Amino acid sequence: MKRIKLIRGDLTRMEVDAIVNAANNSLLGGGGVDGAIHRAAGPELLAECRALNGCATGDAKITKGYHLPAKFIIHTVGPVWNNGLHGEPELLRSCYKKSLELATQYNVLSLAFPNISTGVYHFPKPLAASIAIETVKEYLKQNKTPEELIFCVFDEENYSIYYELLNR
């Protein structure tokens, strides 16, 4: 069985142990996938997030999933793309790595990622996808969990980029 799956759909509907949120430094909600997660999880999520005192770019923090099918939400803060000379690729790599480490720590067997930073943070989609896939593959090679990893893509462009990279 393949450990990495590509699914086009809404992350908030994924029936997995944990989903990853592309959050911002405040962890208090925002637009895009972050807004969708807060709406679907309910106000209890915001209350737990307030106690976390934000999150640094490239780092990750975990909360419960509340009204989501997912038991946990791993909140990570991707870099805002700003010409690529400000450590953006390394910070994005760190988001995936730290999220995976938290997942292992919490015994998460199935984990779903969105395409971190590729929305309003404007990270170039092909580069973001290759960093995501490379980082995940390397981690899965060295760790038994998560057993199942889903790249949950929302837009057509990311879907074809991931499809190409995962199937060649």
Residues that bind ligand ADP (CB under 6 A): 10-12, 22, 32-34, 36, 78, 114-121, 152, 154-155, 158
- In DSSP terms, which residues pair with 5 in a beta bridge? 150
- Residue 34 CB, shortest distance to ligand ADP, in Å, is 6
- Would you say 139 or 151 has its CB closer to ligand ADP? 151
The Cα 113–Cα 83 span in angstroms is 24
Name the DSSP letter for residue 21: E
- Residue 150 CB, shortest distance to ligand ADP, in Å, is 11
- Would you say 42 or 107 has its CB closer to ligand ADP? 42
- Would you say 72 or 154 has its CB closer to ligand ADP? 154
- Residue 134 CB, shortest distance to ligand ADP, in Å, is 18
- Would you say 63 or 115 has its CB closer to ligand ADP? 115
Q: SS3 letters for 26-92?
A: CCCCCCHHHHHHHHHHCHHHHHHHHCCCCCCCCCEEEEECCCCCCCEEEEEECCCCCCCCCCHHHHH
Cα 10 to Cα 36, 38, 97, 150, distances in angstroms: 9, 13, 22, 12
- Residue 141 CB, shortest distance to ligand ADP, in Å, is 26
